[in-house]
Structures are given as structure tokens and as C-alpha cells.
Structure 1
């Protein structure tokens, strides 16, 4: 049985070039970047070159890039310091954010006297911009808005520039979880008035356990982790140089080949949509995931017309056929609870139908998708 990996929104395969570069660093550049001897200086030089390289893709300075263990840490760093150190007393977000945001906010509410406001969503899961303006203007409290650029479950793409302009026009801070968009979209952070952003290397064919936080200059953000002066005081702890180099290499390859790979993956997604519609009557797609204009090209959230047993069993049934997919965020895959994203936008009747997320990469093929369509057609008819 051939194994088909369609869970790239959860994590991606390492590019071979990334493995080669990481291995070279592990073997040859193993000094601590904080050490003053030649081994340490070599590591420090490589570390700072990676920082400059990464910053250049987003038109910002190297000093605005802080290396972290991934997107979750970066989100925690921003949200906790905004409340603890920057005087934020209200956080504005949505009910379909990643749990790295929602669960952190829940914890902050237990520790601090803060207000949390959830902006209204449209039927397709898009942010209601008029409501966002309304909640931004309802008080003079210091606010932070946190809205993800690309939703990891339904693929909706935020109107980034417009949202940022709205937020800044009310003098609020703006943070975005850009984990699903970094490496897949060109983002000019000098042009977009955003204060903070989070990224994770394993979403664009880099290693797990490393990411970065964009922190706008003079933001006065304080560290989440204490114990050293690494990362210009923003994040204590010895930097994982081989992982940072791997992230740098993966990001370089992603942006060097962005147009070509975007076109290839989008073609796969459109092919998949057409094949599903031709073979499974009354199939539906959640959120904006089937829209070329409003959704990312990397994923599709499918809702079958019938329930083949329990909806929660669909992923298991696909796995038995060698197909890796997801019911939602990989961070909650062990949970029996339904997707909080789908629950926020679907009716009870729609929720009763099984939904599954497929996410694509350059390593997928149309032949693989044909097989998946055949399996889904059989399950939908059972």
C-alpha cells in the first residue's frame, strides 16, 4: 500500500538540501554562539547571517527577528509581554484562531484583569471588518488585536493590509500568527503596519523546533524566557544553530521557487476540487477553502454529504487506506472534541457531517489525489 501524505498544514517534509546544510553545521560549526573563542565566533557569525537573510525576505532589519522554538512560543512571547509589560488591558481576537492564541489568552485572563473581545465572523469564517472597527472604537483602553493571516483549518486568508490599517488607525497594537503564510506568500512587513508576527520553520519544509518572532523596533517587548542575554535580551537560551540554518535554507528555497511551486500546488488543489465535485454529489467545502481568491492554495477542508459511521472515524478510515489527513489542528489531534473552528462557523446539521482537511505540498501528485477521491467516493456511498 502506497502512503499518501496530505497533512502539510500540520508539518512538512524536510527538503533534502536542508538536511545537507544542517548536517554540515552539526559536524563543523558546533561552537556556542555566545562563546568568545574562535569556535563561538564562527557560530555567531553564521547565526547573524541567517538572521539578516531571513529579515531580508520581509523587508525588515535583522534586529527585528528573534529566534524561537516555533510559532507557539512566539505567540506566547507577544501576548504575555503585551499584557505584562506594555499595558494592554483588552485583547481583540476571533474564535477561529489557533489554540496557541486562544489558550494563551484564556491563561492571561486567569492571571490578569484583562478584557477579551471576539470579533464577529461572516458565514464563511471571514473577519467582519465593520465589527472590528466597532470594537476598536468602543473604549480608550490599550488594545492588542491578534488575528491569523491564514487560518490553519479552513484556509481563509486575512485581508492583511486593510486589517492592519484599521487596527493602527485606532492606535492599537497588531499581532498576527503568520505560521501558515510565511514561506508561502511574499509579505512586506515594512509596508504592512504590523507590530508582531510569528513563524515556524516546519511549515515550509524546514526543521521542527525552530521559528522566529518579528518584533517591530522600539516595541519594548520583554522576554518570555529568562536566564541569559541571547537574542538581544528577548529570549534566553543557547540558540539551536543547526535548526536556524535549516530554517534559513528552507526559507531561501521556498522564496526562490515561490511562483513555480505556488502554481504547481494550486493546480493540484483545483484538480482535487473538480474531481471531488464530479465524483461525490453534494460535497461541500468549509470556510473559503475552495476559493482561489479568499483561501490559501495549500489546503482544502472537505465536508462529505453523508456520515460513514461517526464523523470522527473518517480520518481513521482514511489512515487505514494509507492517506494522512487531519480533522483540524495537529495540536489537538488527540482530542475527541470537534474542531473549534468549524463549530464557530457551521450549523449543527453541517457539523453532523464528517469534515476532513487535506493540505498539499510540492511532493504530492495528481495520481495520489485520484486515489484519495476514489476512497472518499466509496466512504461517502457506504
Structure 2
């Protein structure tokens, strides 16, 4: 009888444990949400497919059917693995395993309850930025993350279509607050839902834009650019990380799958063929996906010529006014063969892509 009462008491504590209710009894919730994407996909990708220019980030390009099936299969597998890790973690914590999770706000007060929201959010987002960027190092990219970049025109199902090793690695880094700082279960859970929601939005391929109360949140086109141009825009919910570390997409740079480290290449460093391919990619973007409905990264022929002039000017030595009148800036003394070749190269690019001074390239 005593054993039976003890067992019943243990079960009651389990049911009342918010962490157990949140992570264990709702074990299937992430998978249900994943398949709940079907109505959204149907609305845009089937019902409005013939009006893609109104809503799609890349309206002229579509993910092939075989890759659609691939992302659903891989995404389901990876999500199941992540959900399993979460369930095991919930069991461990709920059964007395070490953690810094707490359930009563009074334990640490209301001040810390509210302060931990930005702490958890900023930590997870900045950590994910670096984890994501690390997986774009050539070795890790080719062996793990490249699998996720098979989807150059991502859909909502792409969000979890990641190599399982990478997915679990990121998951384990994101849960560190549960073992390092006092973490109330509710803020952690809400931040996780927010991150997952925007992961879906950012991979949807739909030109969703952040709300006015989300000044930190980039629009969906930001991450769509990442899939289209590969090694750039590594951040997720706070685009400032890319601006801080110089990996934010730049108008005067070319990005391809073979150009690593997030910096791209200057116009004068790429071949005419590479630039033409880049300009075609830019043309495939939807201006409605950008703020003010203007194509942020479109280059005109006039802008390209201006880049040529600026580069030529940068080749000239910076001489003081005292010596400048005596020097010939175009002499071979101040211009290497390599610089001369680059000048001619830019000229070829301008000529090869010219459609008029102000026409878009």
C-alpha cells in the first residue's frame, strides 16, 4: 500500500511539473507544427503559384519536386531526433537531474524573470550566428551544412532539413542556459517558439516582413538571400551580427557557393562569366520582398562604371600636393601590370554587360 501511494504521489508531481508538461507530454507538438505547414504551403505554392511575383522572394525560380520530397523527408527525420533529445532532457530534469531550471518566479524575483528574456534570446541568437558561420567553413560546409543548401529556393519545410549532427550540435549549444544560469521554464519555452516560428518564416520563400515592433528582426528576404548566395547573411533573428562582423550582404560584392567566409569578392576580382551569373541571380529577386518595394542590390550600368572609376582612382599613389604636379599618375612607375590588368578587366565587364548608362544590369 505504501509503495502504491508513493508511486501515485510521484505521478502527481510529474503531471504538475511545467517542464514535464511542456517538453514530455507535448513530445509530438514540434512534429505536429511541422506538418501544420501544409496549409501555408498549399495557399502560396499551389493556390497562388501563378501569381508568384506578388509573394515569392524568388518568383522566377522554384525548388524541383525531388528536392521538395527530400527536404520533407530529411526535415522529418531531423525534427524527430531533436524532439527525442528534448524529451530525454525533460525526463532527466524532471527526475532530479542537475539543471538551473526553476518554476517559481519568487525564487529569483520579478526583475530577473524579465531580464532573462533578452539574455536567453541574445545568447541563443549570437551563439547560433557563430555556429552557423562555423559550419560554413569549407570542411564543415562540404561534409555537413551543404546538405541544407541543396535548397537554393527554400520553403517552410527547409527549416529542419539539416544534417542531424549539425542540428543536435546547435540544439545542445542553445540549451546551455538550462545548466548555467537560473532559467525560468516559461521564458525559455517562449523564446524557443519565437525562434522556431521565425525559422519557418525565414525559410518560407514568401516575402514576409518584420513587424514595426521588431526592429531587430530581418525580413524573410534576408535569409532567402543566404540560400541564394550561400556564404553571406549568417544571422537569424538579429541581423546586426552580420553588420558587426562584416558578413552582411554588400551591393558591390559577388557571392557564390565557392566564395567562402562571408566577405564575397569585389567586382574587379571576378570573371565576366561570374558577374553575369551574379547579375542574373539579382534579377531573379522580387523587389516586393524588400523595404519600400525596391530592389536593394540591383546594379545599374552607371553604378558599375562608377565602381570602375573609383577603383582606377584608388590605384593612384597618394602623393602630397607638393609632389603631385611633378608626377605622371599613368606612368608605369606607379601602376603595376596587375593593376593595369584589373582596370582592363573592369572595362571588359562594363562593356560585356552594358545596356545603357542607367539600365539595370
Shorter-chain TM range is: under 0.3
Please state which structure has a larger fraction of its residues in strand.
1
Q: Which has the larger radius of gyration?
A: 2
TM-score of the superposition, structure 2-length normalised?
0.24
Compare relative contact order (CA 8 Å, sep 6+) and give the higher one, 1 or 2.
Answer: 1
How does the TM-score come out when normalised to structure 1?
A: 0.23
In terms of fraction of residues, the more helix-rich structure is 2
